[in-house]
Structure 1
Amino acid sequence: MKEGVRLFDPARMTCLATDWSVDGIGFFLMQKYCQCSSKTPTCCNDGWKLCLVGSRFTHPAESRYAPIEGEALAVVYALHQTRYYVLGCKDLLVATDHKPLLQILNDRSLTDIDNRRLLNLKEKTLGYRFTILHVPGRKNLGPDAASRYPVGPPDRLNLPEDNDTANDASTVAAATCALNAVITVVTWNMVREATASDPTFVNLIRQLEAGFPEDYKELPTDLRPYHRFASSLCTVDGVVLMGQRIVIPPALRKPVLNALHAAHQGVSAMRARAMDSVYWPEITVDIARVRDQCVHCHQMAKSNPMQPPSDITPPDYPFQMICSDYFTYNSNDYVVIVDRYSNWPMVYKSESGAEGLVKRLRETFVTFGIPERVDV
């Protein structure tokens, strides 16, 4: 270790490796001394030399952060502690073992970040110029050890102008104001009590604290709809939020739907009101169902006759016109293609999402020719 420590050289490539755990935050400031073409801090065993190591314990509130929030906090803390070295650094790398953080701290716009805590943390990094990259956890051993065995007290090394209580209070106030502007029959306390009594939401809060896996298939079935919004979800005062929108538990969804439809507005207007205040999976489907089941709305709605069906042009030869569809069965994706001339069906197993779909369609076109019309 003694031979590996070097004085900081502003002309060398610099890497700031960070890590967060429930117990603390740790970072390693390193510089590159090897001739490897790779810019990652794991290019070789002794190519990067230590310049500075730091750590501190987490506050009680910070220990309850979601993993993506904690890892962002570690980056902010490390940048602040090494600011005399890294401010103005032309070739600075920030290494983290939490891959979802790359989407937040890259060039993502502030307006696209719904999580208020992540938004505040990203704003603290805007004064630095760096490139963030992912390092597997098994190769991020130094910062990981520093975060699990910190030495600095949190009260002495706390970031300036950091007030988690004020941030949580402002978040509660903003979400409550948005909820009351649309719905008055449901209060914040009612949502908190319903969240605590619902098993799915209890598991959701635990998953937010533990972190979402990269593959949604590793989650329980009832939590999979929340995977795509993992970076926007957070918990404040026992309530799950997606940005500024309150995630409503199942027990309160019916009164919320009734409140959204109290003015007997259409589906678009109900969706617009919900976009400002509430969310749950399949909320748009539930809104459309409530509108379709309203007898008063059907009586008052304009009578717009449907257009007469148009004649279907029959094909003249095989595979001149085809029909295609894409579906999922037993966690596997399939492409079905039907020739309209002979009604001959073909079903292919597709992989890799859109790439697999394009591959199967291209194989069909190469075999049977390019059709003049494809109906989906």
Structure 2
Amino acid sequence: MPIGKLEPFDLSSKQWPAYIRRVKQYILLNEVKDELQVPLLITIVGEATYTLMCDLCSPAHPESKGFDELVKLVSEHLEPKRSEIAERHVFRLRRQRPGESLTEYLHNLKHLATTCNFGTMLEENLRDQFVSGLANELMRSRIFAEKDIKYKEAVELALALEAAEKHAEVSGSTMTSTSTSSARAPLSGRQQFILRTDHQPLSFIFGKKCGIPQTAASRLQRWAARLSAYDFTVEFVRSSDNGPADALSRLPLPCRRATPSECVSYVQLIEENLPISFKDVSKETKKDPLLSKIVGFVMFGWPSSVAGGEEEKAYFARRNEIVLELGCLIYKYRIIVPPSLRKGVLKEIHEGHLGINKMKNVSRSYVYWPSLDRDIEDLCRKCEACRIVRDSPPRAILHPWEYPLCPWQRVHADFAECAGKKYLIVLDAHSKWVEVISMTRTDAESTILAFQTLFARFGQPAQLVTDNGPPFSALDFKNFCANNGIKSVTTAPYRPQGNGAAENMVKTVKKVIKRALFVKENVSAALNKFLFQYRNCEHATTGVSPAVLMLGRRLRGRLDALRPDVSLVVRSAQERQINQKGGMPRQVGIGDTVMARDYSSKGNKWTEGVVVSQTGPVSYKVDMGKGVEWRRHRDQVIKVNKKNRYSLARTSTLGQEAEQTGENDDERVAVDSDADVTFEDAVGSPGGEGATQAPEDVHSPTPPPPGASARALRAYHRKKKV
């Protein structure tokens, strides 16, 4: 079944490149073959687009074109090549429209830039046009003040200013154009200036390092939004060094002076976010000896060093960032909580059971004391509700199984269930050889019987790794392993990764079964085909096929018929050589009396002996008497029978007669050959059965063929006389 769905292409959308990118992803996801890509494109584009393709390909048809060719034809028709100068002109004229958000404005700029061919200068051009086209003059001026600002930084700054402006509008803070212009008039021209104040927290709040915290009061955020249009540096000075501003602030003004109740400090601004009052913090700070000491340091100056404990040293290391406000110590924008109030603050932070990391993030926006992080960790570890739902610890370092030295030393086993049938899967850890056994039951008795079948075939392993399933945990199965000297090892409960080799093979076998069911193939046949190919294929871990490691050879398959069979070629050559050489079949058995060829210098040509053993297919050992044994080939012995009336004396007589009649040496060789035939074919004995019947070769010699030589004729006549 195909993955995903594509709707027909809408010609009015003009988004043909984006549509083709989706089509290519669909082709990649569904693994569509190259020859099917054109039919797929024609099918999904819809009737209107197909009609357009027919018109563009006329007089040919779209089916005769390639995929890329069809895409190019439609692309050139819907989006003809535009003028680069004209496109860049349209891009330069784009400005932020009234009511258009920065996100929409930036999106439209990116769309226009796609046809401008900016290349590597894309981000620089987007930055310039984005900033110059902003509708908010204050925002544009604020970004202009930044030096060497990059595209992403400009966008982030503009979005932050936009968010601050919206927040100020929601809070009800408005500023008339008259007051804005009057406040900005003395600082026109975007010159950089220094803002000196005797209020130390402002130097950190409006400084460049820290910035405005998200949890700061709304009034501070509104002031930050107003000041963002200017380029300034905040410096802290003492009141004694801030004479002009301090004097002007004390001069009588015609307007009503604010009462002390209307004076607002930073502590009062954040009081609504804390579970305790700043008055309580101030009171407990005076009671605490260490914090009282720190208050004195802040008011009258810090010493060059402190010799107190770790907590006092922690305050000393942050001495330049600790100030005193309404009797409360403030570190940056965080209240330093006295020890007596810390338990209540921790309880408030832990109210939602956010976890250690989120509690630390929340606490760092409001409060501080040196052991804050450690106290939060201890609180979360002691919380019963947090402990029972905590996440699992980080994964331990992978510890693989030791590789066995020989096959079938350690095997992994597990059960697989698919399509209503159960299978026992056994994997050899050394060779990766797999056995899949269909099981009707999975009790201990059936499991033991299946393992006995495997052990009868491959032997008993030294170690068997399984999970904690009922068959493997049964007492009968444990006794079976113990009686056979097998060490049964089980993995940790509810952790299948411990027996990962077997679990991975279970997944693979299930895929084979599901594929067989999908194509309606016999499951057993599909499993056998898979196992055959798997055992013959090189394994990714060992680099050698399981069959070679397990059996020492590859399994012969149908593909092996493509390779030349060397043994068959040699066998054919040997048979051809036998046919060409010819020869006469002779059989010699142990105990037969034979004439063996004598190669000694003083001996006769043939010497009588007895065959005592056969040393090869055509070689024998012949006992010559007196403890002497000769090893002779079948062509070097002649089987004889002492009771045959055609004895060696007759042969010798024939030889002498041949010499007396003046026959040459060739004739003597023929006599010897004739004698060989006589010795081999003579049967029977004078006094026994068949004594009166001569061999067929003697009484019925085969006449020579027409045109035979004189030598063959003389041999024929001698046989006939005998």
- TM score, norm. by length of structure 1: 0.39
Greater relative contact order (CA < 8 Å, ≥ 6 in sequence): 1
- TM score, norm. by length of structure 2: 0.23
Point out the structure with the larger helix share. Answer: 2
